[in-house]
Amino acid sequence: CLSGWGAFTESLLTDVCPALTSKISGLVKGHSIETPGPITPDIVSESLKCGRELAKASKRRGAQLIRNGVNLAGCSPALLHFFSTKLPADVKSVAEKSHEILTATKIMQMRLCGDAECTPNTFLSFLEHQVIRLNDISYCKPYSITCKKSAKFRTIDGSCNNLKHPAWGRSIAPFTRIAKPKYADGIFAMPVARSGRALPNARVLSTRLFQDAQMNSRVLSHLNTQWGQFVTHDMVFQVMESTDEGGINCCAGNGNDMLPPEWENDKCIPIRIPDNDAFYSYQGVKCMNFVRSVTAPREDCSLGHAEQMNTVTSFLDGSPIYGSDPKLAKKLRAKSGGRLRTESRPKCTKGFLPMVEDKSSVCVLRNSSDPCYLAGDGRINQTPTLAMLHTLMLREHNRVADILASLNPQWSDERLYQEAKKIVVAEIQHITYQEYLPLNFGENYFRYYRISPVSLYNRDYSDDVNPGIINAFGAAAFRYLHTMVPASIATCPSGYQAVYQHRLSDHYMNPILLEQSPESFDDIVRGILAHSSGESDPYVTGEVTNFLFKCSSAWGLDLIAMDIQRGRDHGLASYNDYREICGLTRARTFQDLAREIPQDRINALQQLYECVDDIDLFVGGSMERDVDGSILGHTFQCIVAEQFYRTRVGDRFFYDNGEMAHSFTPDQLKEIKKASMARLICDNTDGVQFIQRKAFEVESAYNPKCRCDDYSAIPYVDLTPWKKGIFDLSD
Ligand code: HEM
Ligand SMILES: [Ca+2]
């Protein structure tokens, strides 16, 4: 039961908290675990005090391990994985509170259960009935929130979007769940098989079920997949635990071996690599670094199982451009004309993103002059195509701000910033809900379930719908799109006469491809339009399953193995549980999966898993046949559709909400609805003159290239309806 709790032992507990032991044990004497004596506030605060001591001890131990040399090597893939997850101090302190609460819960479980018959479920249902809250709720609430009800614009951290539940959807908050978690101890320990044995190794599942035989999509462009990642980064960011001294190493050296338990940080859940691994065995790699996600206290500060933290706003609100925290948001602004900071480059009329202060701490620099960008999201430099989209969106913001400034010279910097941001966010929402989602997940499905609305205004907003990200969406369902990442980045000179391919793994954490010459940026844009996306099948390029974040070594990490391990880290319920939630029958035997999963994959699953109930959500969901018109199978489709429904209907500021103080006027909204991915590219590149109208699809006879200045083919968003009359005093 202690797996996942690392150094947390019975004897440590007795040493640190001797008084608590007798106090809690007294509760079950003469009672049963289902009906123990009352948990008094005194016991709760005593457990918390003890939890605090133990959490501190764990932190000290983590720091000591690093000082003893268990740290990450200079240019290792494991270190690059930490590049995008630098945590501000206030986030760390929220995470620490959650460690204290979790440890207090664990202590109570250990003491109450003792040797008695006590399954994780009995303890949890006991906890649920008591709903044990901390005496002082402010202790674990990150901030007290006071909302300005008449505010016309979103807050940067997403708070106050929902006036009844001001914390819903904000950053630095727990994910939501639609199924009970399946931690081995009901609290935080890594899940195990039904038999109590270990689940199948995540790397083995990856190599056996997600082979490297990637086909290209015949319809979808690379830009389609890239937009998907950008949307992901707007909605979800789970980060890994780290120490004040830096990232945590869970392996010996640079993955040469597993660490003995006494050298392992208790946040470690490394992936063992089998000796016969067809790739890593030749590299001498036996251990893949993997660190648990940061957790967050729940809104009511109650004791119970772990919830992981979302560090960005759940709303689709442009947070990768503007930031999810006010300090960063301020730093990104130019402080005049409502603009965001940009840098200029010789012979380029359009701006580039600003640079981070300490480039070598978040990028792999080959030359000190290499670019390393600063944006609203820390993952920006992961690949050049991601950085390209960020740059396009930054340019769009400044383009819009400049037009608004010329229409309304009286507007302040603040007004221009907010109005331009509101327009850019509306364009992102429009492109996502009208272009991206129906194309990928089925036009009929998304319109039928009204996930993508059809009339000019929608009136669906409900303050009872929680816009928070569903844990299973971020930690499993949407990660299926990792199977579509193409193996290369394409560049294509003006005129599209040729396409050059660049290996993805040569370009992690260094966006130099965008800046080699004045034409480079546009070459990448043309490349991503001409290049196909990977096919949506469970075949995945080795560029992400063997070479992810490759740096100086000849190997990298395995993203699919990490996706599987992450689902377990988050205690996601099993594939079978989600089948039921999504309206399928629960499978009792492997053969019961036959309607959704092809026979050869059922056979493979049966060889790997002991029991059909053990199948991980990510694995089972990925094996399903696609539903009609979608790139996803039934179960992932259900989770993804539910998420995008909540993201729209639970967002008070969703762009086409009507009849609200902040709603666009009909003339404005009609213009916003002309926005398209193709227009966005035409307006924000120097030399892209031709583009297919449907930019998320490759060029074809039915989707031919048009000239950017053909405004009937690619409509232009005219901002004149934003011009205020001279007698308009609404500012
Ligand atoms: C070259 C392209 C990509 C790379 C290198 C990449 C890499 C990663 C990495 C390293 C993680 C964190 C893994 C972990 O620690 O658990 C991650 C998470 C994730 N990725 Fe990707 N990814 C790529 C493309 C995509 C695409 C195209 C999508 C979807 C359309 C996507 C969706 C997600 C989601 C939903 C998560 C979870 C996010 C979170 O909870 O923070 N990724 N990806
Ligand atoms: Ca967001």
| DSSP secondary structure letters along 256-296 | TEEPPGGGS-TTB-PEEPPTT-TTGGGGT--EE--BPBPB-
State ipTM.
0.98
Kindly identify the ligand whose nearest atom is closest to the C-alpha of 636: 1
Which element (helix H / strand E) includes 79? helix 77-83
Cα–Cα nearest to 326, from 469, 143, 149: 143
In the prediction, which pLDDT does 2 show? 46
Ligand nearest the Cα of residue 291 is 1
Is the beta carbon of 225 within 6 A of some atom in ligand 1? yes
**CA distance linking residue 414 with residue 674, whole number of Å:** 26
Give Cα 456 distance to the centre of its chain: 31
Q: Is 481 in the pocket of ligand 1 (CB under 6 A)?
A: yes
- How far away, in angstroms, is 597 Cα from ligand 1 center? 24
Q: Which of 385, 390, 559 to mutate to test the pocket of ligand 1 (most atoms within 8 A of CB)?
A: 559
Q: Find the 315 Cα to ligand 2 centroid distance in Å.
A: 4
Map residue 504 onto helix, strand or coil. Answer: helix
Is the distance from CB of 648 to CB of 235 less than 8 angstroms? no
| 59 token code pair | 């932190």
Buried b (16+ CB within 10 A) or exposed e, 423-436: bbbbbbbbbbbbbb
Whether residue 478 has its Cβ less than 6 Å from ligand 1: yes
Q: Is the Cβ atom of 561 under 6 angstroms away from ligand 1? A: no
Residue 505 Cβ < 6 Å to ligand 1:
no
* Whole-angstrom distance, CA of residue 614 vs CA of residue 632: 21
Residue closest via CA to ligand 1's atom 11 equals 559
Set 81, 222, 233, 305: catalytic member? 233
User: Tokens 């089925």 — which residue?
Assistant: 442
Q: Which residues pair with 557 in a beta bridge?
A: 548
Say how many Å lie between the CA of residue 67 and the centre of ligand 1.
31
Q: Which residues of the chain are under the pLDDT cut of 50?
A: 1-3
Q: So what's the pLDDT on residue 451?
A: 86
Best of 176, 229, 362 to mutate for ligand 1, by most ligand atoms within 8 A of CB? 229
Cα of 147 from ligand 1 centre, angstroms: 33
As to burial, measured by CB atoms within 10 angstroms (0-12 exposed, 13-18 middle, 19+ buried), residue 11 is exposed
- Mapping DSSP to helix (H, G, I), strand (E, B) and coil, where does residue 678 land? helix
What phi and psi, each to the nearest 5 degrees, are found at residue 107? -60, -45
What is the model's pLDDT at position 234? 98
Rama region for 158: left / alpha / beta (φ>0; ψ in -120 to 50; rest): left
Query: What are the Cα distances from residue 573, in Å, to 248, 361, 576, 578?
Result: 27, 36, 8, 7
How far is Cα of residue 207 from the mean position of the Cα atoms in its chain?
Answer: 24
Atom of ligand 1 nearest to the CA of 548: 5
* 169 CB within 6 A, ligand 1: no
What's the pLDDT at 106?
Answer: 87
What pLDDT sits at residue 33? Answer: 57
Judged by DSSP in three states, 691 sits in strand
Distance of CA 658 to the CA centre of its chain: 30
Distance 381 CA to ligand 2 centre (A): 18
Residue to mutate, 223, 479, 546, ligand 1, most ligand atoms under 8 Å from C-beta: 479
Q: Verify whether ligand 1 is closer than 6 Å to residue 229 (CB atom).
A: yes
Q: Collect contacts of 602-605 with beta carbons under 8 A, ≥24 apart.
A: 604/208, 604/209, 605/209
* Residue 482 beta carbon below 6 angstroms from any ligand 1 atom: yes
Concerning whether 165 is annotated as a catalytic residue, the answer is: no
| Distance from C-alpha of 581 to C-alpha of 635, rounded to nearest angstrom | 9
pLDDT in the model for residue 1: 38
Token pair 């892209």 is found at: 688
Using only C-alpha atoms, the chain has a radius of gyration, in whole angstroms, of 26
Q: Answer for the pair 512, 481: CB distance below 8 angstroms, yes or no.
A: no
Rounded to the nearest whole angstrom, what is the distance from the C-alpha of residue 652 to the centroid of ligand 2?
A: 14
Paired residues of 657 in beta bridges: 458
**Ligand 1 within 6 A of 429 CB?**
no
At residue 238's C-alpha, the angle toward residues 233 and 239, to 5°, is 115
Contact 339, 333 (CB under 8 A): yes
Residue 481 near residue 334 (C-beta atoms within 8 A): no
What's the confidence (pLDDT) of residue 731? 52
Query: Pick from 15, 37, 243: which is nearest to 107 by CA?
Result: 15
440 pocket-lining for ligand 1 (C-beta < 6 Å): no
Amino acid residing at 466? N
Closest-approaching ligand to the CA atom of 378 = 1
C-beta 485 within 6 A of ligand 1: yes
For residue 231, the ligand 1 atom closest to its alpha carbon is: 30
Quick one: which atom of ligand 1 is closest to the CA of 565? 16
Nearest-angstrom CA–CA distance, 393 and 426: 12
Ligand 1 centre to CA of 478 (Å) is 9
- CA 414–ligand 2 middle distance (angstroms): 20
DSSP state of 483: G
Taking the C-alpha atoms of residue 317 and residue 155, their distance in angstroms, rounded to an integer, is 10
Pick from 373, 376, 389: nearest CA to 333: 376
The encoded tokens of residue 685 equal: 């590149």
392-409 burial string, b = 16+ CB within 10 Å, else e? bbbbbbbbbbebbbeebe
- Tokens 């979790």 locate to 102
